[in-house]
Structure 1
Amino acid sequence: METTEPTHTGDPHPTTPDPTCADTDARHPAEAGPRGGPRPVAAPGVYPTLDVPRGTDPVGPRPAGAEARGVLRRRLAWFAVLACSPYLLLKLLWVVGIDVGVVHPDELNRAQWVAANALTFAMDAIAALIAYALTRTREFRVRAWLIVLPLWVASGLLVVIMAAVPLSLIGAAVGDAGNPFAGDDFLRPWVYAVVYGGFIVEGAVLSVAFGLYAHERWGALLRVRVRALPDPAGTGDAQRFLGTVAALLLGFAGVLRMAWASGAHVGMTGRWIADRNATGRWMDGVQGGLALVGATGLILLVHRLGGARVRGPLAMAWFGAGSAFGWGGWMGLISAGAAPGSTLAERTSTLLRFVYTAEMITGVLALTIGWFFLTEYAGRTRHITHPAHPNPTPDTPSTNGEPHAHSTKTHP
């Protein structure tokens, strides 16, 4: 099979380390180039492409076990598609007027009920489509933003449920909280079991499948040490400013939610306090904890702090900012559309609206920082040049008619 992969060796200037090899002092083993001469190298400050065809790797041959991980990723993605099915079926039944599991269907506002279920059906259908895309062997042909953007929002929404529901169940088992699967005056118990159970499985397998996909597609970047992250377009100062603002807003929301989770009533309305239960406190605790984790990850990334690989702080910022943006945006949208005098309107205080706004702004800032960095990095790394050779010799690769950026190899 013939593939085209970028050439890559250690930087010829010892004082300029290659960030894609920052976790090791070893250089690429393939030092010999065409015709026995030295292998062409990237110019200082220019790094190998991240977005490469499947079967190649920016830093050399695919690591051992890559094919097995690809198979695992596709199987997990199929499992995620199946995990979405019960929720999608339930929502579809409600949209067409089959109100299974609803305690008092005659009391529903039919137009609002259908609209809300059609919207949530579409959201989970997008997650199912992303999972399906991850099952494909040629998924690298899909543009990155079509997978990354919706999956970032989906994982932010799902990670809160994945953590809060099991904690609520543990609390219920020790008599400290209500059972989230117990049902209420609106829905039957089995509905909550189907919905929450499906979300937990879907979120878990989809997150792992996407993690494997990200390492296949952007493994070179994820392996870089944080302190060695490049600044290919000179936007580091802007990234630090925006990242610091985002981290401060996220930290503020996190501290406030942790206070609410611990029993504080600061900024709450009387109706909110009266309706407060253990499940709500668990939700605030999980969201607050994720917000603080996300703020820490953002600070580490934009200020290039520490020697950890990028994948750790990036995962922290991914889930922290994603959960803030997803839940802040969703609840902010619902509360903004609540009718005056309704229960939701009476529960939503001015401070809570400010928290929703701060969480949404944080998500937008984090998304902007990540998007600009990846765009600049990927765009810059597509241009890998040869060093100048003023006096070519038989031992030096000829430049006549040969590309400067890539060499073609044949793999069995």
Structure 2
Amino acid sequence: METTTSTTPPPPAPPRRDLRKTLAWFALAACSPYLTLKLLWVLGVDVGVVHPDELDRGRWIAANALTFVMDGVAALIAYTLARPREVRVRAWLILLPLWVASGLLVVIMLVVPADLLSAAVGLTGNPFAGDDFLRPWVYGVVYGGFIVEGAVLLAAFALYAHERWGTLLRTRVRALPDPAGTRDAQRFLGTAAAALLGVVGVARLTWGLGADVGMSETWIADRDASARWMDGVQGGLALVGAAGLLLLVYRIGGARVRGPLAMVWFGAGSAFGWGGWMGLISTGAAPESRMAERTSALLHLVYTAEMITGVLVLAIGWFFLSEYAGRTALPEPTAPEPATATATATTTTTLAPQAT
């Protein structure tokens, strides 16, 4: 009996997957100008710097090398998201760095347009006008690149997340199970994290509205509209993150998980990302520097609270993902040929637990 092998080509990739890969390639391209600029500065090519002779060369190289690596990780994630879905990596290798990157980028994506709008109506100066440190075009390249990078990278990740954890994201919040019995632990950690986010959010919103509570004299002198926008946006995101966290850990409402989870993703991510970054800069600043003089005791406490919040949310996220990821399903495959239906079903059943 002659055996024939089917030469039917595999079904085409779903449109969403094609869109995800296209967006990821755009994100990778958007990282290039910033990475190029940072690499030039590390190598000693001080393009765009107004007074390179006044730089503390050691600190300058270290800071630019660190930020080069940070954006390089974002570029690597973009490349990973541009690959076929079958090229799987461990979830935390994507989720952890992209969570921090999302928190950093979303603030820039909201603050820079607000600055430009304020400048357009004459309330503030042009944020891209340059200063005594960098040429105007540098700000355009850096912040313009961040906005484009953030938009396409987050869009690509959203599509990827729905491919990989779609069932979880579409589940109703009140229907979330508790397969490992960690709900009480999640509620304890979530309540603590939400409380810290609430306190941080109120403090930053107060500063954003113009109050100078807890500020040093140098900090007050350095305040401008952009700094107030920054505090206002971070404060608002922190409160949004606190609300989303309570909805999730207490299983409140019939919304799908993706809504409250996005609130926590951006709210806690911005707190952890900016709190950690600015806390690192202020801690490493020379005692006589302006950065050290403007960082008051209260601001140090805010940075610390933001970082603690991030650690708590990471713990909750670990519980959440490890318990529920196994309940997600990959997109339904194309219906198999009748002769191979049984074999395909057996293979799918065998491989399904490994998909998450």
TM-score (normalised: structure 2): 0.89
Q: C-alpha separation between the residues in 2 aligned to 1:75 and 1:274?
A: 45
Determine if the alignment matches structure 1 residue 158 to structure 2 residue 102: no
Task: Answer whether contact 1:294 1:320 (CA < 8 A) is retained.
Answer: yes
Q: Which has the higher helix share?
A: 2
Determine if contact 2:28/2:78 at 8 Å carries over to the other structure: yes
- Asked if 2 retains the 8 angstrom alpha-carbon contact of 1:133 and 1:139, the reply is no
CA distance in 2: counterparts of 1:149 and 1:303, whole angstroms: 24
CA distance in 1, matches of 2:220, 2:169: 44
Match of 1:406, as an amino acid? T
Paired residue type of 1:259: T
Native 8 Å contact 2:168 2:327 kept in 1:
no
Greater relative contact order structure (CA < 8 Å, 6+ sep): 1
1:245 to 180, 185, 192: 192
Equivalent in the alignment of 1:92: 39
CA contact (8 A) 2:50 2:133 kept: yes
Alignment correspondent of 1:225: 172
The reply to whether residue 216 of structure 1 matches residue 159 of structure 2 is no
Moved over 6 A (4+): none
Query: 1:336 & 1:164 partners in 2: Cα distance?
Result: 24
Q: Percent identity?
A: 75
| Deviation sequence 1:249-284 (CA, Å, 0-9, x none) | 001101110000100000000110011101100100
Offset of 1:408 from its aligned partner? 9.4
Whether 2:349 is the aligned partner of 1:406: answer yes
State whether structure 2 residue 123 is matched by structure 1 residue 176: yes
How far did 1:380 drift? 7.6
Written as runs of structure 1 = structure 2, the 5 A alignment for 1:347-386 is: 347-378=294-325
Tell me if structure 1 keeps the 8 A contact 2:285–2:291.
yes
Contact 1:178 1:279 in 2 (8 A): no
Aligned to 2:67: 120
CA distance in 2, matches of 1:349, 1:102: 29
How many equivalent residue pairs? 330
Whether the 8 Å contact between 1:140 and 1:217 is mirrored in structure 2 is no
Q: Residue in 2 aligned with 1:75?
A: 22
Deviation at 1:376?
2.3
- 2:287 maps to 340
Distance 2:162 2:131 in 1: 43
State the TM-score, normalizing by the size of structure 1.
0.77
Q: Secondary structure at the match of 1:234?
A: coil
Q: Please tell me the residue identity of whatever aligns with 1:297.
A: G
Distance 1:94 1:407 in 2: 52
Instruction: Measure how far apart 1:139 and its partner are.
Output: 5.1
Q: Secondary structure of 1:265's match?
A: coil
Counterparts of 1:408 and 1:231 in 2: how far apart (Å)? 24
CA 1:203–1:330 in 2, change beyond 3 Å: closer, same or farther? same
Instruction: Tell whether the 8 Å contact from 2:168 to 2:324 is kept in structure 1 after alignment.
Output: no
Aligned to 1:15: none
Q: Amino acid of the residue matched to residue 143 of structure 1?
A: R
Residue 323 of structure 1 is matched in structure 2 by 270
Structure 2 CA distance for partners of 1:211 and 1:332, relative to 1, 3 Å: same
1:289-319 deviation line (CA, Å, top 9, x unaligned): 1101101100100000010000000000000
Select between 140-149 and 93-102 the one with higher mean Cα deviation.
140-149
CA RMSD of aligned residues (A): 2.3
2:168–2:325 contact (8 Å) kept in structure 1: no
Offset, 1:341: 1.9
CA gap 1:326/1:139 in 2 versus in 1, 3 angstroms: farther
Distance 1:189 1:139, change over 3 A: farther
3-state DSSP of counterpart to 2:14 = helix
Structure possessing the higher radius of gyration over alpha carbons = 1
**Residues 206, 140 of structure 1: alpha-carbon distance in 2 compared, 3 angstrom cutoff:** same
Task: Quote the Cα distance in structure 1 between the aligned partners of 2:229 and 2:71.
Answer: 24
Q: AA paired with 1:100?
A: V
CA deviations 1:341-376 (Å, max 9, x no partner) are 210011000000000000001111111101112112
Residues 285-324 of structure 1: matches in 2 within 5 Å? 285-324=232-271
Letter in 1 for 2:146: F
The Cα of 1:174 is off from its aligned counterpart by 0.7
Cα shift at 1:113: 0.5
| Distance of 2:321 and 2:179 partners within structure 1 | 10
Q: Show structure 1 runs of 5+ residues with no match.
A: 3-54, 56-61, 383-401
